[in-house]
Structure 1
Amino acid sequence: GTLNMRKSGTESASIVAKLSRGTQVTVYSESNGWAKIKADGKDGYVSTKYLSTTRPETESTPSIPEKTTTKYVNVSSGTLNMRNKPSEDASIIVKLAKGVEVEVISESNGWSKIKAYGGEGYVSTQYLSTTKPGSIPESPDPDPDDEETTVVKYVKVVDGSNLNMRSSASASASIIAKLVNNTAVTVYSESNGWSRITANGKTGYVSSQYLSAKAPESPGNSNGTIIRVDKEYNLTLDKMVEIQMAVNGQTDKKYKTYIREDGLTLINSTKGTVKGTNWRVRGGAGSNYWVVGAVSNNQSLDIKSKVKGSDGYYWYEVNYNKTWVNASPEDIKYNINPDNFVNDPVHSFQFVKLSQLTNMNVSEVNDRILSGKGILQGHAATFTSAGEKYGVNEIYLISHALLETGNGTSPLATGVKVNGRTVYNMYGVGAYDGSAVSSGAQYAYNAGWFTPEAAIIGGAEFIAKGYISAGQDTLYKMRWNPTASEKYGYASHQYATDIGWATKQVKQIYNLYSLLDSYKLTIEIPKYK
């Protein structure tokens, strides 16, 4: 049926609208089992228990199929990134190998909206061809975003000096960036005394002798003050895991996947098709294992082996080629457990209180962080004003802005004309997938962000209201929201579905602190019963 959206948070209130399964809603607040929401342009209240942070599979209703064309990924080396928006700065949903077949929905401004591996996203049109290219090369170049084969190391130079990152593995190559002591870098490969690395959004080469696997005790100089506090929750870690399992946290990790024997019609010993609509693959041979994901009727699956399950049935181990799948209880537990991150100098930054100001030195930040960062250059004082006004850590605001604006160069950051006036948007507020520039610009126009300063300060209010002033003032709490789990007994108001999201966000913030000589920060460690 449908969910009633009511005028106020009570069963007797009049019905404003009826919402069908799978409708996306914006949640403003939750209280006494009711959520205040916006849906289909209307405001109202619904019973919280009928909302989920992951989109449910909706009933299949006949619809007019989208007209699509089939094309193939054609890259000379490495993989093609499928992104969530048509922009180089947008986050990567999945990596597509050479020769992968995709359905093209539409093309615009050099970007193609495509379907691949059951999901939709955007790729650069130039890397698609109408004919299938040869197979994947034996050893593709390492991709800057491929975490599989990388290690984190730290720059070790004398304080006050820099390590040059160069465009190629040669002392005469041009300098791309200068890295300060203790900067965390991602290392892809090492050869002849040179390391290929990524740091602060740039990829290049540095002399291997100035990198160390040993982490510093704190970023930057020893003038930084780090205070540690504990925050106790009336929850066990296992209960928290159980609550999170119910909302299917996602991971791009590969698992062995199994389907019960009666779920397949065998074509031969290595191939079968799914029999019926309700089958799912699990993370082990038995129905007591967690569901990794769904499969559809008649879907073809490659069979790897056959084993007797814990329930007496035979189970087939099959290839399941989705990039994002439901995470295992063990992996969810690992990511929720603070003990796994608190002693790591980089990963512990997911516990930094984002409601506390850094007391950063403005000229230091302009010189070391914002120099050469497009429209954000010279705006350290504006970020300080924004942080002070709305109670948000300024380094977090800068990190967020650098990420969203491609280091201050995106169209939304540099100005878009709406109704004859130039507007700015520094945090991607209101920039929805598929229409990021137009929707983000319209939001900025409605908010009155007609100068870069107005956008930096006004956007900080949006960031503060969404999570930080609601008490979710660490990256860990934005992802996992233990307070809500403690209060309601279910997961609510979580920023991301990726179980590794908080850990993946921290390197940039850690490196920004590495550039500062003095700062103040508090690390709040969750403690479960």
Structure 2
Amino acid sequence: MRSKASTSGTIKGKLTAGTVVTVLSEKNGWSQIKTNNLEGYVSSEYLTRITTPENGTDDQTDPEEDKQPEETPTTVEKKVNVQAGSSLNVRSTASTSGVIKGKLTAGTVVTVLSEKNGWSQIKTNNLEGYVSSEYLTSITTPENGTDDQTDQEEDKQSEEAPTAVEKIVNVQAGSSLNMRATPSTSGTILSKLAAGTVVTVQSEENGWSKIIVNNLEGYVSTEYLTAKDNGSTNVTINKSYVNYNLTLEDMTNIQLKVNPQTDTKYDTYIREDAIVFKTSDSTKGTVLGSGWRLRGGAGTDYSVVSTLTSGQVLTVVSKVKGTDGYYWYKVDYSQAWVSASKEDTAYYLNPDNFINSDIQSLQFLKLSAKANVDDKEVDSKILAGKGILAGKASAFVTAANAYGINELYLISHALLETGNGTSTLANGVEVNGKMVYNMYGIGAYDGSAISSGAEYAYNAGWFTPEAAIIGGAKFIAQGYINAGQDTLYKMRWNPDAAEKTGTATHQYASDIGWATKQVNQIYNLYSLISTYTLNYEIPTYQVNAK
């Protein structure tokens, strides 16, 4: 059960089979429900109606219902409602895992044959398949009425539905806003939100706003939120698709060979003959010999979480019979990074899990394509108050033009590396009598960051902040971006190499969630401005052979 009608909604609870729920409303394949004082949203396809004597049984059908099958089913025409430049996938089945049979542009008129669970079976130009119902809108005709002839019941629903609005965190550069579990300064701090973060405000009361950001729900002080600029926008969205001659399972198996990592906390189990209890404490077991594998379940058919060394002491939680006939101990294991499971690796590899999220879809943003921002707007809405970077938007635009790189990606990189324009390297270090600047931390090695970063800047000739912004962009572009890995997704997974060589190589990180963790800052920057271009490149994998 989720906090909103989307798989990106926060999970509020889990319902077991047979649980009885009250359905408050249903739309686009999601049902708003209530049960045991818990209210939220679930996928409608997993709910079935309870048959009661009042509702009728198979032997007590309504005469009018008996007549309906004899009548000719009616079809309606609707049009595709997607943003200009994008398209709507037509799939072979009513699921995002269905094969893409074609793509429909904005405004295309289709015949809807049926609709169920948020999917519409459609036909157009000899193409028949399924599309998401939320991207179809009714065609207004004189017979159907106009905008002035709306249904009274729809008007009533609009008035009753709570409206959520987006606002921006408005705190001083370098500081943050506490997001708490309860509307009180004594509430537990769930997160710290940086200046410019875009949040969704669900409600507001007594000086506190209930918000959602990055799938986290909590409360912040209303006085530190400002309205998001919803004025005129000049946004262009372009999407392209790259088909790989690999199934998602092929790609997953390739990645598993290089032991991808995760900071997800797994349940962990060790076989009973792998440990011995050397003290009277029955909760402390010592590993006997090296090479024993800690697994994600009680059995050798579960994925390996980590490999243990001789002498490690584990805290035993419980003992269970495994799927292989052995007894296994469930143990506490506190290592920060562990081997990712096959299921989790496949999840992060699958573009379908992210492409419909405004934030997470940015991992498919082409970083080799300009954002076409207005430098004056960037100066006033993004770089204002950002130390040495204030007023430098034109330098980032020049860098983007010179080296074919997204200027907002450069700005995001610079804000992070310079601490919002306040770092020593960014503000100038004297080397051989000359002031040098370094805006991206290039050449700044741990233990000697200032001296090594300044030396690099001196040798590169970065004697002005603008030279550092433009020259540093060349260094960034020459890495992954010019190598063809010009999206965060491709930096992490490198599907081109996987397709050509069958191996996982030249990957920026081992963390399976790395790409999903990089997009929030970029999203926040785009949210602050009204003029830009988004160029997406989305990978598609072959459907597994049945």
Q: For this structure pair, what is the TM-score category when the shorter chain's length is used for normalisation?
A: 0.5 to 0.7
Please report how far the alpha carbon of residue 211 of structure 1 lies from its aligned counterpart in structure 2 after TM superposition.
10
Per-residue CA deviations over 1:373-414 (Å, capped at 9, x if unaligned) read 111111111001111111001011001111111101111111
Q: Secondary structure at the match of 1:528?
A: strand
2:166 counterpart residue number: 156
Contact 2:164–2:203 at 8 Å: present in 1 too? no
CA distance in 2, matches of 1:272, 1:189: 50
Counterpart residue identity of residue 341, structure 2: S
Q: Could you say which residue in structure 1 is the equivalent of 2:263?
A: 252
Check conservation: 2:166, 2:201, Cα contact below 8 A.
Answer: no
Q: Residue in 1 aligned with 2:444?
A: 431
Q: How does 1:52-451 map to 2 (within 5 A)?
A: 155-156=165-166, 164=170, 184-185=198-199, 192-195=206-209, 205-207=220-222, 222-267=233-278, 268-451=281-464
> Shift of residue 177 of structure 1?
11
Shift of 1:249: 1.7
Partners in 2 of 1:500 and 1:386 — Cα distance? Answer: 29
Query: 1:492 & 1:286 partners in 2: Cα distance?
Result: 31
SS of residue paired to 2:435 = strand
TM-score normalised to structure 2 length = 0.60
CA contact (8 A) 2:399 2:405 kept: yes
Q: 1:171-201 CA deviation, whole Å, 9 max, x = no partner? A: xxxxx99988xx633899998451487999x
Distance 1:178 1:528, change over 3 A: closer
Question: Quick check: 1:165–1:205 contact (8 Å CA) kept in 2?
Answer: no
2:470 pairs, out of 440, 457, 463, with 457
Post-superposition shift, 1:349?
Answer: 0.8
SS at match of 2:446: coil
Counterpart Cα distance in 2 of 1:219 and 1:356: 25
Distance 1:435 1:185, change over 3 A: farther
Per the alignment, do residues 457 and 164 of structure 1 end up closer, same or farther by CA in structure 2, a change over 3 Å counting? Answer: closer
Distance 2:289 2:200 in 1: 45
> How far apart are the structure 2 equivalents of 1:263 and 1:188?
51
Whether 1:502 aligns to 2:512 is: no
Alpha-carbon distance between aligned partners in 2 of 1:186 and 1:466, rounded to the nearest angstrom: 36
Which residue of structure 1 lines up, in the alignment, with residue 103 of structure 2? none
CA pair 327-163 structure 1, distance change in 2 beyond 3 A: closer
Question: Matched residues in 1 for 2:350 and 2:446: separation?
Answer: 32
TM-score (ref. length: structure 1): 0.62
Does the Cα contact within 8 Å between 2:169 and 2:224 map onto a contact in 1? no
Distance 2:486 2:415 in 1: 20
Question: Aligned partners of 1:263, 1:473: CA distance in 2, in Å?
Answer: 46
User: For the Cα contact (< 8 Å) 1:196–1:204, is it kept in 2?
Assistant: yes
CA contact (8 A) 2:164 2:201 kept: no
Q: Distance in 1 between matches of 2:274 and 2:422?
A: 51
Aligned AA (2:306): G
Secondary structure at the aligned position of 1:461 is classed as: helix
Indicate the larger mover: 464-473 or 301-310.
Answer: 301-310
Taking the aligned partners of 2:329 and 2:193, their CA distance within structure 1 comes to: 51
> Could you tell me how far apart the structure 2 residues matched to 1:383 and 1:465 are?
16
4+ runs deviating over 6 angstroms:
166-170, 176-180, 186-191, 196-200, 208-212
Kept after mapping to 1: 8 A contact 2:166/2:200? no
Query: Could you say if the C-alpha distance between residues 492 and 224 of structure 1 is closer, same or farther in structure 2, counting changes exceeding 3 Å?
Result: same
Structure 2 vs 1, CA of residues 489 and 190 (structure 1 numbering), >3 Å: closer, same or farther? farther
Secondary structure of residue in 2 paired with 1:466: helix
Deviation at 1:156, TM superposition (A): 3.0
> In structure 2, the residue corresponding to 1:467 is in which secondary structure?
helix
**Structure 1 residues 294-303 or 187-196, which shifts more?**
187-196
Structure 2 Cα separation of the partners of residues 188 and 250 of structure 1: 35
TM-aligned CA deviation for residue 309 of structure 1: 2.0
For residues 312-354 of structure 1, give each alpha carbon's deviation from its aligned partner in whole angstroms, at most 9, with x where no partner exists. Answer: 2222111111111111111111111000110011111111111
| Match 2:504 to one of 491, 496, 510 | 491
- Please give the alpha-carbon distance, in whole angstroms, between the structure 2 residues aligned to 1:246 and 1:187: 43
Q: Please list the CA deviations of residues 267-326 of structure 1 after superposition, one character each: whole Å capped at 9, or x if unmatched.
A: 443221011122231111222322212322211111111222222222211111111111
2:203–2:209 CA contact under 8 A, matched in 1: yes
Q: For residues 260 and 419 of structure 2, what CA distance do their matches in structure 1 show? A: 28
The alpha carbon displacement at 1:471 in A equals: 0.7
Mapped to 2, the partners of 1:154 and 1:456 lie a distance apart of 38
Q: Percent identity?
A: 60
RMSD: 3.5
Q: What SS does structure 1 have at the residue aligned with 2:245?
A: coil
* 3-state SS in 2 of match to 1:471: coil
Q: 1:294 to 1:431 in 2, by over 3 A?
A: farther
Distance 1:233 1:480 in 2: 13
> What is the CA-CA distance between 1:251 and the residue it aligns to?
1.4
